[in-house]
Structure 1
């Protein structure tokens, strides 16, 4: 990504666009799928739906907004004011979309509804979190734990929901709760996928007797940086250099052909990476 695109990705219009689209998908999933089927979506929205189902006071969107307020205060104190301002927009957008949306998706089978609703909700949450804000709720706590301890946000969400659904089993029909769990699982998987789909790279280790030649070829022909590591064979004790580099998925095949053209006996490891931050790859996201 060139410098102009990097700057645009962090501009206010782009972040507002991501939050608007993500909020619409989240609101549609809740209002058009979860509510008609009586599902609990998990996280703060799940708590809002439980209150709505049993109190019949206010609307799901308003309950979600009210519950988000104290969490937003935590985000303001521990993340950044800019993050909370974007998140406040996301929270308001979800509430507004939920008040506007009045239709239900024509999915009658509960299992299919859980899968479809989870996919739409996960896509919406993932798109929102690609911005410098979020859709509020558990996303704020997830980002705190991600920044401080490296937990994946989808995993944080799923762990929190375990406690929520333990309570839900005592309040709702068992089948409804099980369908809701399927929806939450699909949500976490799709959200992680959306967050990583543009960031995944291949970490490559190359063990070869021609490490320097391969290294030079990668720099010149593949236009990728390399690092030479010192290694030693466990069986022979022979010292070797290990070439380490990172490429995207498109470059993998070209790199493979380049390596084995220079050394058919090379030992190569391709490993998936969740994210690569640095020159030529992703920019560090600062909230």
Structure 2
């Protein structure tokens, strides 16, 4: 029981640290780049910046209030454990945005720099929160909810779709086409950074090789690249011959070496290279099973 408690405290501490750092980065993005330059980069944050522009209401406070309906919907669809983390992360971010607003200097120089650096900081802040299994509400939570319906789409792309609506509203409020265009740049950069943090470290290539020498190729791949290989049973539709299809996942920089191996062993091999958005397992991102461990400890 003591081991379980210690592990739980450690996980909560890491969560808190990630939320704190992520909130700080996001606060800099909002207070230094977005709000002072009338850029509403989508989502509840963008709506809060618009409301602040019109009423001078605190951005962080408005963010939290606007998120309450999404919290209730998320509680119903995603469960209280996920929403509990999201409420904590959103509350921290709202507080930090309002508390740091008077102390963080605003940058009102080159608008391209505003969009780029604002997008990077926003993406880093959101990505840290996402990595710990929460969101910061708004389009982040909306993207999580949409991912239940569209699991094949990344969070970054779903956020991009949701935020586009807010950007259109910002065009009417600010009545400035340039601020909207910069918001699009910031939003795009942010979504790419989020995807990079969540999936970038585990992206790679999936290789399929059809060859009469698949066994030899597999041996060379395991010896030279130290990558696991799976041999699938296939059958040529035209020839009717049974053939083995080699399946292998590699890092991007290993594709050229694998190409050399295949062509050296069998110049007539047929092969395909596909993008692998996320690879989990030995040699890549490790699978975790905290629930199973907890059950074993309890027994």
Range class of TM-score, shorter chain: 0.7 to 0.9
1:181 Cα shift?
2.0
**Mapped contact 2:123–2:193 kept (Cα < 8 A):** yes
CA distance in 1 between counterparts of 2:289 and 2:79 reads 12
**How far off its partner does 1:233 sit?**
7.1
- Equivalents in 1 of 2:94, 2:270: separation in Å? 54
Question: CA distance change for structure 1 residues 157 and 223 in 2, over 3 Å: closer, same or farther?
Answer: closer
Match of 1:46 in 2: 46
Q: What is the alpha-carbon distance in structure 2 between the residues aligned to residue 250 and residue 286 of structure 1?
A: 32
Shift of 1:73: 1.7
Aligned with 1:11: secondary structure? Answer: helix
Question: 2 CA distance for matches of 1:274 and 1:193?
Answer: 10
Q: 1:227 aligns with which of 214, 231, 237?
A: 231
1:207 pairs with 210, 222, 230, which one? 210
Matches within 5 A, 1:1-287: 11-57=11-57, 59-101=58-100, 102-104=103-105, 106=107, 108-150=109-151, 151-172=153-174, 173-219=176-222, 222-232=226-236, 239-249=242-252, 251-278=254-281, 281-282=284-285, 283=287
**Within 2, Cα distance between the matches of 1:206 and 1:118?**
40
RMSD: 2.7
Q: Which runs of 5+ in 2 are unaligned?
A: 1-6, 292-299
Secondary structure of the 1:161 match is: helix
Q: TM-score, normalised on structure 1?
A: 0.85
- Number of the residue aligned with 1:3: none
Aligned equivalents of 1:54, 1:105: Cα separation in 2: 19
**Is the CA contact (8 Å cut-off) linking 1:229 and 1:242 kept in structure 2?**
yes
| Separation in 2, partners of 1:45, 1:73 | 18
More helix by share: 2
Contact between 1:278 and 1:284, CA under 8 Å: does it hold in 2?
A: no
Give how far 1:105 is off. 5.0
Q: For structure 1, which segment, 157-166 or 70-79, has the greater mean C-alpha deviation from structure 2 after superposition?
A: 157-166
Query: How far does residue 276 in structure 1 lie from its aligned partner after superposition?
Result: 2.7
Q: Is the 8 A contact 1:88 1:136 kept in 2?
A: yes
Separation in 1 of the partners of 2:213 and 2:246? 10
Once the two structures are TM-superposed, the CA of residue 277 in structure 1 deviates from its matched residue by: 4.0
Q: Return closer, same or farther for 1:123/1:225 CA change in 2, 3 Å cut-off.
A: same
Matched residue count? 278
- Single out whichever of 105-114 and 136-145 deviates more from structure 2: 105-114
- More divergent stretch after superposition (44-53 vs 80-89): 80-89
